[in-house]
């Protein structure tokens, strides 16, 4: 029930007292959340960084403070992301709008004089409710429905792939080659990076628990079956690892 007048941008007024439909997107927006009376705690220990000056600088920036001390420190942080032979991984440029990101990615992609391969996303849901909200949820995630790739394209991981070896959300790399679909790189636990030609047959995937390793392998098989291309990109990452995705 809403009992307040709403003033529109053009100066018009919508009379109050009437039913109002509220769309709650998050659990903490519900009355039930407030009734639970959760104890709010602020986490203060930083786990991803151990450099005290860097942590202090990030904390200032989070609060909208970027003084001369911050600027000097950040200016001295520049370093190459890593090279493998003639592989050059470019630094990531940050923009406030997705359109600006898409525009730059398109310009750089068009500069590459290599064959383009197109990959399609495979989305799935379980249950009527999940199906009804699938489109809205997917519209708010970074991955696109269709992805075009070329050899030499700069890429960025949008999910954790191999945490132990540093292939996590945000990891940067560049496509250096293509590998056949029926072959995958050697196990990621290997001590040395995997180079073209060092491949083995893919293990058969079963069902497995939802979200588990077997389930992920099966989902990857189903996705691959939907693709029109028969190759996967081989990516060299800034960590020195090389892996087919």
pLDDT in tens, 3-26: 566 666 666 766 666 665 667 778
Domain membership of residue 24 (yes or no) is: no
Domain membership of residue 162 (yes or no) is: yes
Cα(94)–Cα(75) distance, integer angstroms: 16
Cα(204)–Cα(96) distance, integer angstroms: 43
Kindly report, residue by residue over 194-236, the tens digit of the pLDDT. Answer: 433 444 434 444 455 555 677 777 887 888 888 888 889 999 9
Domain membership of residue 97 (yes or no) is: yes
Kindly report, residue by residue over 131-170, the tens digit of the pLDDT. Answer: 777 777 777 777 788 889 999 999 998 888 888 888 888 8
Output the pLDDT for position 17. 62
Residue scoring higher pLDDT (181 or 175) = 175
Cα(24)–Cα(132) distance, integer angstroms: 15
Q: Are 237 and 162 in contact (CB under 8 A)?
A: no
Q: Are 82 and 154 in contact (CB under 8 A)?
A: no
Given a cut of 70, whether residue 61 has pLDDT beyond it is yes
In the chain, the percentage of residues whose pLDDT exceeds 70 is 75
Per the document, the length of the chain is 245
- Overall pTM > 0.75: no
Cα(52)–Cα(177) distance, integer angstroms: 40
The residue segments making up the domain with residue 221 are 83-244
Given a cut of 60, whether residue 192 has pLDDT beyond it is no
Residue scoring higher pLDDT (130 or 172) = 172
Domain membership of residue 230 (yes or no) is: yes
DSSP codes, 57-104: HHHHHHTT---HHHHHHHHTT-----EETTEEPPPPPP-SSHHHHHHH
**How many structural domains does the chain have?**
1
Q: Are 167 and 237 in contact (CB under 8 A)?
A: yes
Domain membership of residue 14 (yes or no) is: no
Cα(108)–Cα(104) distance, integer angstroms: 6
Inter-CA distances, 203 with 18, 69, 106, 214, 220, Å: 61, 53, 36, 10, 12
Domain membership of residue 153 (yes or no) is: yes
Domain membership of residue 23 (yes or no) is: no
Domain membership of residue 25 (yes or no) is: no
Residue 237, strand partner residues:
173
């Amino acid at each position: 029930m809403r009992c307040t007048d709403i003033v529109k941008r053009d100066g018009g007024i919508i009379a109050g007292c009437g039913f109002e439909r509220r769309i709650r997107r998050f659990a903490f927006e519900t009355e039930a959340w407030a009734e639970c009376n959760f104890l709010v705690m602020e986490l203060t220990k930083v786990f991803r960084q151990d450099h005290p000056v860097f942590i202090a600088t990030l904390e200032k920036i989070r609060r909208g403070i970027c003084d001369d001390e911050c600027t000097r420190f950040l200016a001295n942080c520049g370093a190459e992301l890593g090279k493998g032979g003639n592989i050059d991984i470019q630094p990531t440029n940050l923009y406030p709008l997705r359109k600006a990101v898409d525009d730059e990615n398109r310009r750089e992609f068009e500069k590459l004089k290599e064959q383009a391969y197109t990959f399609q996303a495979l989305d799935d849901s379980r249950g009527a409710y999940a199906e009804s909200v699938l489109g809205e949820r997917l519209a708010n995630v970074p991955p696109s429905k269709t992805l075009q790739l070329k050899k030499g394209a700069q890429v960025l991981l949008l999910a954790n792939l191999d945490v132990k070896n540093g292939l996590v959300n945000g990891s940067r790399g560049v496509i250096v080659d293509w590998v056949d679909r029926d072959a995958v790189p050697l196990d990621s636990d290997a001590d040395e990076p995997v180079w073209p030609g060092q491949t083995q047959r893919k293990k058969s995937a079963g069902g497995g628990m939802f979200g588990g390793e077997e389930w992920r392998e099966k989902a990857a098989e189903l996705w691959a079956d939907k693709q029109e291309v028969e190759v996967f990109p081989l990516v060299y990452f800034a960590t020195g690892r090389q892996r087919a995705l």
